[in-house]
Amino acid sequence: MPYPLPPQARAWQEKVRRFVREELIPHEVEAEMNGGELPPEVRARHRRRAREIGLRALGIPKELGGAGLSSLEQVVIQEEIGKVTNALGWCYDSTPPWMVEACASSDYQMETWVRPNIRGERHECYAISEAGAGSDVDAIQATARREGEVYVLNGEKWHVTSANHADHFIFQAKLEGGPHAGAHCLFFVDMDSPGVRLLRTPAYSHSYAAHHPIYRFEDVRVPARNRIGPEGGGMEFTHDWFRYERLGIAARCCGAAQRLIDEATAFARSRIAFGKPIAERQAVQVMLADSLTELWAARLMTYRTAEEIDAGADRKASHAQCAMAKLYASEMAGRVADRAVQIFGGRGYMRENVAERFYRELRVDRIWEGTSEIQRLIIANGLFKRGQAALIE
Ligand SMILES: Cc1cc2nc3c(=O)[nH]c(=O)nc-3n(C[C@H](O)[C@H](O)[C@H](O)COP(=O)(O)OP(=O)(O)OC[C@H]3O[C@@H](n4cnc5c(N)ncnc54)[C@H](O)[C@@H]3O)c2cc1C
């Protein structure tokens, strides 16, 4: 029985599903074999088609040039985007809503970075993690020292996703000196600022056109107006950002699992071993049955969390719910990918096979935007502070 999605969400689902199936999926193997790259004209076509169907700045209000979609509509779209490997779904401008909230009071920031970002003319990347600080963000060593109307930034940042496609960083540092010494602060830093240096671009498990390089920032001077939010208070919106991203990951993991179940089911029906399709073997059926059951649970959790956000859910409760959705969906997708590889047998170990690619690609969903262990800490914290009823009843 289909989930009772509102007609507009259902329309988005169908539109994006067709786009992913017809335009993106056919290029997966080519991308995989070329380190994630596709010919520029193909990339350009994907971006153009995405725009034509309305994929842009999904959570940004219409009056600012965004699509103005509800959380549920965004989740439904993300689920479809999650069905394609090699991050080929990263072909539309996805300005995060936190940017608008954080920068709304600064015309300069809105005009210089946020509005161009919404229009798809500028692209950001996040320079937060460091060699010694990932889960424990408070351990960052990066510093920001105020000198009159300028901040001097220093630090080394790891895993800066999409830096090769971006033109500015969101750089996180601790304030050195002043009344808010030790507080965290975010800054817009243009990539061509003197003192910004690309150290290296490590290889990762997946084959994506978007890289995750390491950057050094040495005495980078930025105007004080590049600081996001007030001194000592600029980090408040990061929890909004985490919720947004974690729910998106949960949705994409559901999409990946759906595709894997479809592909593994089709293969199981056609693959003959010992005289009959492996679909008729209970050992294979059990793997598919467990996968479908877990996908349903993850999807219900993800949709319901989005619906509650749209209904104005308490932010703290929502924080724990998004952590639960991300935790469960990412671990579910990992199990589904593992079973899909098993069902495909030797083919499942070939890079041209969707199960092999997802088996590697989905692994990071248990790491980035907070590891599974960190999600569990958030959930337990929510349980102790607010109680079960506030979180899941
Ligand atoms: C592909 C990729 C892209 C990324 N993109 C970005 C990006 O764009 N910008 C950015 O800033 N960062 C990015 N990251 C960094 C990512 O957010 C971190 O890797 C992640 O938060 C984990 O931090 P860490 O790697 O330092 O691991 P650590 O924090 O060192 O953790 C190591 C292990 O210890 C566990 N652990 C840590 N603390 C606890 C605890 N209290 N209780 C129990 N277990 C614990 C962790 O769960 C993990 O298993 C990216 C990472 C990857 C792999």
* Ligand 1 proximity of 364 Cβ (cutoff 6 Å): yes
Question: How confident is the prediction for the chain on average, in pLDDT?
Answer: 96
What does the pLDDT read at residue 237?
75
Give the CB-side neighbour count of residue 328, counting CA atoms within 13 A: 20
| pLDDT 10s digits, 220-232 | 999 999 999 988 7
Q: Which has the higher per-residue pLDDT, 393 or 5?
A: 5
Structure tokens at 148: 């009159």
Contact between 145 and 100 under an 8 Å Cβ cutoff? The reply is no
Query: Using CA atoms, how far apart are residues 215 and 212, in angstroms rounded to an integer?
Result: 10
Residue type, 263: E
Query: Using CA atoms, how far apart are residues 382 and 316, in angstroms rounded to an integer?
Result: 8
**Burial (CB count <10 Å: 0-12, 13-18, 19+), residue 182:** exposed
Nearest atom in ligand 1 to 377's CA: 42
* Ligand 1 proximity of 137 Cβ (cutoff 6 Å): no
Q: Is the pLDDT of residue 355 over 90?
A: yes
Nearest atom in ligand 1 to 371's CA: 47
Query: Using CA atoms, how far apart are residues 160 and 204, in angstroms rounded to an integer?
Result: 12
How remote is the CA of residue 130 from the centroid of ligand 1, in Å? 9
Query: Using CA atoms, how far apart are residues 158 and 242, in angstroms rounded to an integer?
Result: 18
Residue type, 350: M
* Ligand 1 proximity of 317 Cβ (cutoff 6 Å): no
Residues noted as catalytic: 369
**Which residue's CA lies nearest to atom 14 of ligand 1?**
159
**Which residue's CA lies nearest to atom 31 of ligand 1?**
135
What does the pLDDT read at residue 238?
78
Q: Where are the beta strands (DSSP E) in the chain?
A: 124-127, 143-147, 150-157, 168-176, 184-190, 196-200, 214-223, 227-228, 272-273, 276-277
Query: Using CA atoms, how far apart are residues 171 and 177, in angstroms rounded to an integer?
Result: 18
Q: Give me the phi and psi of 153, to 5 degrees please.
A: -105, 140
Structure tokens at 28: 């997966």
| pLDDT 10s digits, 147-161 | 999 999 999 999 999
Query: Using CA atoms, how far apart are residues 38 and 241, in angstroms rounded to an integer?
Result: 30
| pLDDT 10s digits, 306-347 | 999 999 999 999 999 999 999 999 999 999 999 999 999 999
| pLDDT 10s digits, 256-275 | 999 999 999 999 999 999 99
* Ligand 1 proximity of 246 Cβ (cutoff 6 Å): no
Query: Using CA atoms, how far apart are residues 258 and 304, in angstroms rounded to an integer?
Result: 18
What does the pLDDT read at residue 100?
94
| pLDDT 10s digits, 86-106 | 999 999 998 999 999 999 999
* Ligand 1 proximity of 212 Cβ (cutoff 6 Å): yes
